[in-house]
Structure 1
Amino acid sequence: MSTLTLKGPYWVTVRQYRRTLWLVAGGVLLSLVSMVWLRYWDGQTVGTNQDNGHAVLRVAMDWAATAMMVLPLLVGAFVAGPMVARELESGTYKLALTQSVSPARWLGSKLLTAGAVIVPATLALIGVYRLGWGSVAGTWSFLWYAPDTYVSTGPVLVGQVLLALGLGALIGQLIRRTVTAMALTGLVTGLALLLVGQLRWSLMPVLTGTGPLNVGNLFPGVPASSWQGGYGLLTASGDHLPAEACWNRTKEWDVCPADLNVVGQYWEYHPSSHYWPIQLIETGIYLALAALALYAAFRVLRARHP
């Protein structure tokens, strides 16, 4: 990777981590080549008696989704440890400060360099995953709302890696111990992603459908590709009751006591058209949290190195 057009702390940062940068570029290229080959193999064997290509593609997609889910944790740990905490722990950052480089510029150059690599690489990996997803989309475990597929196919992953970048910068300064900072950043990043992920399906109002009480057809009229949320019984006054309300009284799913006044059933769902609105809203949350983490990181830096 050429560093001829870079100057000052940016040049130093690229020189320091050039092997990592080459590793990232090589990983993205290898992923692309592998996915293109798997798609080609799948296309050659589909509909034959030896449709091994599709089976291998599905396994590869499972592994790829797992790797994409772990990516933010790796980014946060690397930024917190090797990029920030290690230099603070060893004191090598002082050399940069003696070269007419302010503390803010020292940290900013590292984060900008990391971001300039991480964001394009993440977008490229999303594109690679979508290339393979085109052959398995809508099948079991590859539905659009499955947690790993949802994260791996949209801008949410970019927001997550940027949040990890900000948390890594903050925790790396607070801990100043390489291994400890890496572990703690991975933990905090994972908790943050888990908490925001719990809010995912409440970021946009669900659609509600109603119909007659028919236990043999729980969700009539709901597209098969929809994310299905809560469901239960509907009374004449419009109140919602738990799905087992009649069973608890009569031991029959579709026989209800008259006093419950049940007239049908209801169900809540997100159609596939909600994919992009939810993706963009959740991405905005991650970007806001990332901005807060970066702001706190520079505040800590200023307090310790005025």
Structure 2
Amino acid sequence: MSPARWLAAKLAVPVAFTTAGVTVLSAVYAWGRSRTYDTHYPVQSSERLVYGAMGPVPVGYTLLCLALGALIALLVRRALPSMALTVAAYIVLLPAGEAVRPRGRFWPLQLVETGILLALAAGAVALAFRALRRHHA
């Protein structure tokens, strides 16, 4: 098995499980919030906890962190430092995504932010394959 095929296989299973899991958790949170709280959905959708827990954005952040974790692990080649650096990268990226969120316009903002996160994740995966190719050339 080639190294590229190995990396693709190692990424495919976590991507599938995390996408499914975070999607279900996000849907359950949205359902529970709509049932539990007397909420005005469009007005409160820009709150940090609401915005970050519902819609496609949590999936985007999850996939970006998974891709960054794979890239950092290939570069650092140590498990614990790789995990610490991935958490640090997430902590740095999170406030950047929260910087500009005007009230209202929940779904357009969710879709744009998710698109940006998925593009960054794709870039991280491409860099991971490039790093893998460099180490096994």
Question: Do the structures match in fold with TM over 0.5?
Answer: yes
Number of residue-to-residue matches in the alignment = 134
Task: Return the match for 1:286 from 99, 105, 117.
Answer: 117
Q: Give the Cα–Cα distance (whole angstroms) in 1 for the partners of residues 85 and 33 of structure 2.
A: 33
Matched AA of 1:105: R
Segments of structure 1 that go 5 or more residues without pairing to the other structure are 1-100, 202-226, 228-271
69, 75, 79: which one aligns with 1:174: 75
The runs of 4+ residues in structure 1 deviating greater than 2 Å are none
From 115, 134, 138, the counterpart of 2:15: 115
Q: Are 1:151 and 2:52 matched, yes or no?
A: yes
- Residues 4 and 129 in structure 2, CA contact (< 8 A), matched pair in contact too: yes
Where do 1:1-306 residues align within 5 Å?
A: 101-134=1-34, 135-136=36-37, 138=39, 143-201=44-102, 227=103, 272=104, 274-306=105-137
Following the alignment from structure 1 to structure 2, what is the Cα–Cα distance between the partners of residues 137 and 193? Answer: 28
Secondary structure at the residue paired with 1:199?
coil
Cα distance between partner residues in 2 of 1:137 and 1:299? 50
* C-alpha deviation, 1:196, in angstroms: 2.3
Unaligned runs of 5+ in 2: none
TM-score (normalised: structure 2)? 0.91
Q: Which has the higher contact order (CA 8 A, sep 6+)?
A: 2
Paired residue type of 1:157:
P
Rg (Cα) greater in structure: 1
2:128 aligned partner, one-letter code: A
Asked whether the equivalents of residues 200 and 282 of structure 1 are also in contact (C-alpha less than 8 Å), the reply is: no
Using structure 1 for the length normalisation, give the TM-score. 0.42
- Amino acid in structure 2 at the alignment position of 1:180: P
